[in-house]
Amino acid sequence: MKWGDENIRYVFTPMERWLPLFLESIGYSAWERIFERPEGYPYYHWLHTLDGEGRFELYGDVFRLTRGKGVLLAPLTPHSYYPVSDRWATIYLTFGGSAAPAILESLGMNTTVFYEEGDDHSFDELFHDLLLRIKRSPSHSDIEVSSDLYHFLVRLRKFGMMNDSPSLSQYYRRLAPILKWMEQHLADNIGLAEMAEYANMGIHGLHELFQQAFGMSPYSYFLQMRLREAKRIMLQHPDKALREVAEQTGFNDVSHFVATFRKKEGITPGKYRELHLNAEQKEGMREKKS
């Protein structure tokens, strides 16, 4: 993808800043300059190298930003950066919003993190799509820009290799066979030992892999799969007894199923089915009237 020799920059007005997530600026620097910010920048700041090489100084350490590498800075983080090659071309965006910390926290991105492109995706393509949509928009105050920013961050988290760790998409590919196997054994009495044996790895290694990919243990993820299947069965077969649902989804007995469901969902299985079936009946009545 060719970016050219001219800088591109959009700066957004305070009108957009009532949004829970907003862009403050976005752009492309064909020839990146020297920046020294001893007090940091007031917004989250993402900087990524398209071509050449720069140096990024953070808390006394120096990091190389070569092609395909970038950094996501938390607000007010002291830093500086400068080119070390004849030309250092970068893309960047700055953003904030009342929901930004919570969104980044949920994505595991709420601290200063260095990223590198994975083999399966290119950051400049993500960025180019976002920049193109903004350019085509008749007004920079469109709420769609906030939505585009959110999707950009999610894709950055999914495809970016954080601090030299594999990207989420790479974790998913590694876990795909074990997830399919777990799906096929929801009703069976299996635990971590059986999962690790099938995955041909140690229990600790499997636990770390699930933590990196999903933020939970393998057994917690397996439990979520069982509950999801239980919901599907209850709604598709409203007359099926809870005892049968529990048996089909690997719970020891009805009381264990009800207690686990209530703990995770906040209501009992019976109440869950009642609420959803009532909602479907009301929707059907509205469709008949219309």
pLDDT digits (tens, 9 = 90+) for 173-186: 778 888 889 999 99
Mean pLDDT in residue range 18-36: 90
pLDDT at 209: 84
| pLDDT tens-place string over residues 96-105 | 998 999 998 8
Q: Which of 60-69, 74-83, 128-137, 144-153 is the least confident region? A: 128-137
Q: Which of 2-11, 56-65, 265-274 is the least confident region? A: 2-11
Q: Print burial letters for 245-267: b (CB count within 10 Å at least 16), e (below 16).
A: bbebbbbeebeebbebbeeeeee
Mean pLDDT in residue range 106-132: 78
pLDDT at 121 over 80: no
pLDDT at 250 over 60: yes
pTM for the whole structure: 0.64
Mean pLDDT in residue range 203-219: 85
Mean pLDDT in residue range 246-268: 92
Mean pLDDT in residue range 193-220: 88
DSSP H or E stretch at residue 160: strand 160-162
pLDDT at 285: 47
Mean pLDDT in residue range 53-64: 92
Sheet containing 61-65, strands listed edge to edge, beginning at the edge strand earlier in sequence:
35-37, 79-83, 54-58, 61-65
Integer Cα distance of 278 and 288 in angstroms? 15
Integer Cα distance of 175 and 169 in angstroms? 10
pLDDT at 152 over 90: no
Give the residue, 225 or 164, on which the prediction is more confident: 225
Q: What is the mean pLDDT of the chain?
A: 84
Mean pLDDT in residue range 70-82: 93
Mean pLDDT in residue range 134-142: 64
- Which of 6, 127, 132, 150 shows the shortest CA–CA distance to 68? 127
pLDDT at 186: 92
DSSP state of 167: P
pLDDT at 208: 85
Integer Cα distance of 97 and 102 in angstroms? 10
